[in-house]
Chain A
């Protein structure tokens, strides 16, 4: 059993409301999602959210995020999840995101960390970290990313779900 295993990967061939990983086995220790996305939104903010969906719902999740973008830094409390370039941004630009969920199959609330970078062009980029909490105690059996406010994820958006298996090499000690 490998320490890090690819469970599933999805690449959108056409625009879709969400990417969903379902029937996630409870046999791993932790989960990691690597996401590269682009939003159908055509606003002026350059980047647009995709929310995290746990067991089919975006409810019961909040986060604190800190961000830096051209000429500005800030922080906010919200449930936005991850940020990706909008459809009117520089062509072929996608976000670069890592989402980590340890002990996803346990019976406690689930902490989430997010590393998020998006570059709109050579003149506009966003860096963001977020700490979140899904307040339900059920095991996570499905996880998804869904365009915020009824927007879509565009073709070319990819997401890969990995499972980490704890173990021992028989040499390293722990006490």
Chain B
């Protein structure tokens, strides 16, 4: 019976603060990629992604956010932008904020289609409120994805933050 198999590709536990982490030389062996991130941040900022070092207007995303404080839920769509946002800057991720992000990159090696992303993030904001944020996104490049960059729009990931990348087929 066919079954889905996960293979661990790379992982990192930050020993010091870092503004970005890059996964490179991703093999084209799998169908999808799955990234799990967990940790804290050192200041104000949002969580962003890029692939293949593409900082052009190649991305589009829709994000939906539920904020525990006062029920300030929000949704936003952005097209022709230079990055994917999975935690909006407006959510006030701040020093000590805990976050957990699950990112799925579907059919990352395809060369005949845009690449879809789906993420689900749980985190605490600067008032220690719990926030849930879901993002659906795409990268408009026709190349296979061979690298994935994770970065903060400002500030840094704190030491102890972990990131694990898996291949799925």
Contacts and interface: CB of A to CB of B under 8 A. Distances in A.
B38 A103 contact: yes
B162 to A, nearest CB: 6
B100 A113 contact: yes
Q: In this complex, which of A64, A100, A130, A175 has the most chain B Cβ atoms within 10 angstroms of its Cβ? A: A64
Contact of A2 (B6, B9, B122): B6
> Main secondary structure on chain B at its contact with chain A?
strand
B159 interface: no
Interface residues of B, number: 46
B64 interface: yes
A174 B165 contact: yes
Categorize the interface residue count of chain A: 35 or more
B11 A173 contact: no
A172 interface: yes
Contact of A133 (B37, B102, B124, B160): B124
Interface string A149-175: 000000000000000111111011111
Contact of A4 (B6, B9, B22): B6
A175 B22 contact: yes
Interface of A: 2-4, 29-30, 62-66, 75, 77, 100, 102-103, 108-109, 111-113, 115, 129-133, 164-169, 171-175
